[in-house]
Amino acid sequence: MPYKRITLTHFLLQEQRRLGRSGVFTALMTDILTACKMVSHEVNRGALVGNHGVAGSENVQGEEQKKLDVLANDIFLHMNALGGNYAAMASEELEDVHAVHGTAEGRYLLLFDPLDGSSNIDVNISVGSIFSILRLPEGADASKADAFLQPGVQQVCAGYALYGSSTMLVLTTGSGVHGFTLDRDVGMFFLTHPHMTIPADTKEFAINASRARFWEPPVKRYVDECLAGKEGPRGKDFNMRWVASMVAEVHRILVRGGVFMYPKDVENAKKGGKLRLMYEANPMAFIIEQAGGAATTGTERIMEVQPTDLHQRIAVILGSKNEVELIESYHKG
């Protein structure tokens, strides 16, 4: 019965009462929700309002920025400064920390990837936004990157918005993973996917196979064994997917299981990998673990890695627990 559904705000209030928490999560989430709704609106209008194409600038990663990378970043910065909850923010699209002035009460730090899967914007394939919330350490200067350099286990909340065939918001505050779908007419996210859990086993993997010539032996071994199918050591046939939007891949894994890999390889090793630890790997690792999955670099639990740089890159292997543990055993063995 659709009219019996609960909104994301009501869900957070219920959780707050159930877990005896302060109202802080509800407050922290409010501005993020608005930002995600606004980005969803801009993604959806696409070419109608000239939102496709490149911005003509480069970000700190050395990537060419798309118009929507810049627009989504501006929306996140603006909306999340208004509530007074955040002392500072950091983004894939900004080299330095963005301090929020005039909010002495801001005790939290917000990290985000405003638009994930930029290469998919102009071809109308799912994109998303990823966010991670940390506490501002006692006595730390919020305007300095050092305040942000906390391992993923310190996250108080993480989530993503998926701008797909429907817009969804998936989040964890450390008590399971819950998914909400945007009702555009009502303008609200409603709980549609409570307690998302990842099956421990899978027959589906995701990796950019065009990089096979760069893979390290453990990854090559794992993929070869999957490709060998029923006749191989795994004794089952595997399916492969690659959307090139991490948000979409993680969402698929939350819904039906699977494993996603963007490993360190001989070509990207000098940078440490491709995906960014603070606003891609850590929030996704938190969500995946809260849903019963696992997230590793191959040798180390992602959320235990001590960051040394705001834009640090890292190897990512995440998803169905038994599968991730198998890949990890190949790295360690």
**67-82 and 24-45 helices, crossing angle to 10°:** 150
Q: Output the six-digit token pair for 211.
A: 């990089």
93 binds, among ligand AHG, Mn ion, none (CB under 5 to 8 A by kind): none
150 binds, among ligand AHG, Mn ion, none (CB under 5 to 8 A by kind): none
Q: Is 116 in the site for Mn ion (CB under 5 A)?
A: yes
Q: Is 27 in the site for ligand AHG (CB under 6 A)?
A: no
Q: For residues 36-65, which are near Mn ion according to CB under 5 A?
A: 63
267 backbone dihedrals φ, ψ, rounded to 5°: -85, -40
66 annotated to bind ligand: no
Q: Please identify which residue in 24, 88, 109, 117 interacts with ligand AHG, judged by CB under 6 A.
A: 117
Rounded Cα distance between 101 and 246, Å, is: 32
197 binds, among ligand AHG, Mn ion, none (CB under 5 to 8 A by kind): none
Q: Is 70 in the site for ligand AHG (CB under 6 A)?
A: no
208 binds, among Mn ion, ligand AHG, none (CB under 5 to 8 A by kind): ligand AHG
User: Rg of the chain over CA atoms, in angstroms?
Assistant: 19
Q: Is 126 in the site for ligand AHG (CB under 6 A)?
A: no
CB of residue 114 to ligand AHG, shortest distance in Å: 8
Q: E strand or H helix at 260, and its extent?
A: strand 259-262
Q: For residues 207-246, which are near ligand AHG according to CB under 6 A?
A: 208, 244-246
Q: Is 99 in the site for ligand AHG (CB under 6 A)?
A: no
Give per-residue burial for 15-52: e unless 16+ CB within 10 Å, then b: bbeeeeeeebbbebbbbbbbbbbbbbbbbeeeeeeebe
Q: Is 249 in the site for Mn ion (CB under 5 A)?
A: no
Size of the site for ligand AHG (CB under 6 A): 12
Dump the DSSP string for 23-57.
THHHHHHHHHHHHHHHHHHHHHHGGGGT--SEEEE
Give per-residue burial for 236-252: e unless 16+ CB within 10 Å, then b: eebeeeebbbbbbbbbb
Q: Is 159 in the site for ligand AHG (CB under 6 A)?
A: no
Q: Is 31 in the site for ligand AHG (CB under 6 A)?
A: no
Q: Output the six-digit token pair for 279.
A: 């606003």
110 annotated to bind ligand: no
Q: Is 113 in the site for ligand AHG (CB under 6 A)?
A: yes
113 close to 130: Cβ distance less than 8 angstroms: yes
Binding track, positions 62-81, relative to Mn ion; x by CB under 5 A: -x------------------
Interface residue list for ligand AHG (CB under 6 A): 63, 92, 113, 116-119, 208, 244-246, 262
Interface residue list for Mn ion (CB under 5 A): 63, 92, 113, 115-116
